[in-house]
Amino acid sequence: MIYLDNAATSYPKPEAVYKRIEHILRHIGGNPGRSGHRMAMDASRVVFEARESAARLFNIKNAERIAFTKNVTEAINTALKGILRPGDHVVTTSIEHNAVVKPLKRLEKEGVMVSWVKADKNGWLRPEDIERAITKETKVVTVVHASNVFGAILPAEEIGRICRKKDVLFMIDAAQTAGAMPIDVEALNIDILCATGHKSLFGPQGTGFFYVTEGIEPMPLIDGGTGEDDETMEMPDSLEAGTMNTPGIGGLGAGIEFLLKEAVEKIRKYEEGIIRQIIEDLSGIKEIKILGSLDEKKRTCLVSFTIEGKEPSELGCRLDNEFGIMTRCGLHCAPHAHRTAGTYPSGAIRVSPGYFNTEKEIEEFLKAVREIAQ
């Protein structure tokens, strides 16, 4: 089996992640923040250390501004629905994941105004188009840091500067970039960072978080027990109602520690080499059309493509059943992006290698694609 679907969820995880989760389940087991006994205190320490590790990775000055969620979708929903009110204006793009599109569609019905800035056919966005869309009612600019369809890395630094100049909150969906490339919330002027734990941060499924800058207090999506008799709680307690996923958060913490030790820059360089190899090979097959830029430095470690005369679903099934290669086909939960690319409604096939894939595995994938394309 060759797993090339890391843009959906990373596999395998670093060994330390498996060990951390098992250790918490077997030897800690307590409920963080609920009791004063040793096991509960140990569980609280797990959550605290994971929060501190995330803060180090993203240069977040105050770790208490990080709230854990079950995934990036929950993080995005909490941020958008917790901050935007009827009459507010938000600017976003035509290549967003449904995790952003659907909450904004709901908010539109409730009186929030939304501007959808169109990216070009390669998924690239011009910062000046974002700036032109900002009005005096604009409260948030939210953009996907890198498209899960094109792989295109958007110009976050330039957009962040525009938002700071215009006194508008800058929100990033970092589902595809958190752990895959360096992100510094201070350098990029990021006010809200939403991330998933189970992709390039190497955590387990069921984990995610978001960071909110000082002075912004989103209304919670869920109210409930936190161990405090206080209706005016501050972050992170205000956004972490109920029993937390301690084993998952601990596993996420172990994944982040792996990244801090291994260095995100090293991982990024390795993955750039993989993508360069894939693009160079696929570009030589005349039946194949690659979505997005052919420059590996302008994209994350994924390549979406189509083969003339063949349905993406057929390609995905053949790669799986005949060659034991796991990829992702279809619309990738981002139909707006596929409309931008001109691949709607069939979508494309997406290959997304990771840090643990070998050169031999990539060669086997490319050999299989050449055979199918003939």
Q: What is the DSSP letter of 319?
A: H
> Per CATH, the architecture of 2-11+264-373 is what?
Alpha-Beta Complex (3.90)
pLDDT of amino acid 341: 77
Q: Do the Cβ atoms of 92 and 114 come closer than 8 Å?
A: yes
pLDDT of amino acid 346: 81
Band of pLDDT at residue 47, cut at 50, 70 and 90 = very high
Q: Do the Cβ atoms of 185 and 157 come closer than 8 Å?
A: no
Question: Residue for token digits 């096939």?
Answer: 349
The alpha carbon of residue 278 and the mean position of all alpha carbons in its chain are separated, in whole angstroms, by 22
What percent of the chain is modeled with pLDDT above 90? 82
CA triple 246-248-252, angle to 5 deg: 115
CATH 3.40.640.10 fits 15-262, yes or no: yes
Closest CA to 165 of 124, 200, 198, 128: 128
pLDDT of amino acid 227: 52
pLDDT of amino acid 353: 98
Q: Is the whole-model pTM more than 0.85?
A: yes
CA dist 55 → 45, 85, 186, 216 (Å): 15, 29, 12, 17
Closest CA to 298 of 75, 97, 34, 120: 120
Task: Encode pLDDT of 189-248 as tens digits.
Answer: 999 999 999 999 999 999 999 999 999 999 998 887 655 555 557 889 999 989 999 999
Closest CA to 212 of 97, 60, 99: 60
CA dist 364 → 13, 206, 354, 360 (Å): 22, 31, 15, 6
Q: Which two three-digit tokens encode residue 33?
A: 């923040």
pLDDT of amino acid 161: 98
pLDDT of amino acid 222: 87
**Domain boundary assignment for the chain:** 2-11+264-373, 15-262
For the segment 342-358, the average pLDDT, to the nearest whole number, is 92
Q: Which two three-digit tokens encode residue 216?
A: 């912004």
Task: Encode pLDDT of 299-315 as tens digits.
Answer: 999 999 999 988 888 88
CA dist 44 → 2, 68, 175, 250 (Å): 38, 13, 26, 10
Q: What are the DSSP E strand ranges found in 311-362?
A: 325-326, 328-330, 348-351
Q: What are phi and psi of 146, to 5 degrees?
A: -145, 135
Beta strand 66-69 with 288-290 is: unpaired
Q: Do the Cβ atoms of 114 and 108 come closer than 8 Å?
A: yes
Q: Please report, to the nearest 10 degrees, the dihedral formed by the alpha carbons of residues 312, 313, 317, 323 taken in order.
A: 10
Q: Round to whole Å and give the CA distance between 60 and 184.
A: 8
pLDDT of amino acid 226: 59
Q: Do the Cβ atoms of 113 and 137 come closer than 8 Å?
A: yes
For the segment 118-136, the average pLDDT, to the nearest whole number, is 95
- The secondary element (H helix, E strand) that includes residue 253 is helix 246-262
Band of pLDDT at residue 2, cut at 50, 70 and 90 = very high
pLDDT of amino acid 184: 98
User: Is residue 45 pLDDT above 60, yes or no?
Assistant: yes
Q: Round to whole Å and give the CA distance between 370 and 164.
A: 48
User: Is residue 131 pLDDT above 90, yes or no?
Assistant: yes
Farthest CA pair distance, the chain: 67
User: Is residue 63 pLDDT above 70, yes or no?
Assistant: yes
Task: Encode pLDDT of 242-288 as tens digits.
Answer: 999 999 999 999 999 999 999 999 999 999 999 999 999 999 999 99
Output the average pLDDT for the chain.
Answer: 94
CA triple 310-147-78, angle to 5 deg: 125
Band of pLDDT at residue 331, cut at 50, 70 and 90 = confident
pLDDT of amino acid 232: 56
Burial pattern 256-281, b for ≥16 Cβ within 10 A else e, equals: bbbbeeeebeebbebbbebbebbbeb
Q: Do the Cβ atoms of 196 and 207 come closer than 8 Å?
A: yes
Same CATH topology for 2-11+264-373 and 15-262: the answer is no
For the segment 156-182, the average pLDDT, to the nearest whole number, is 98
Q: What is the DSSP letter of 234?
A: P
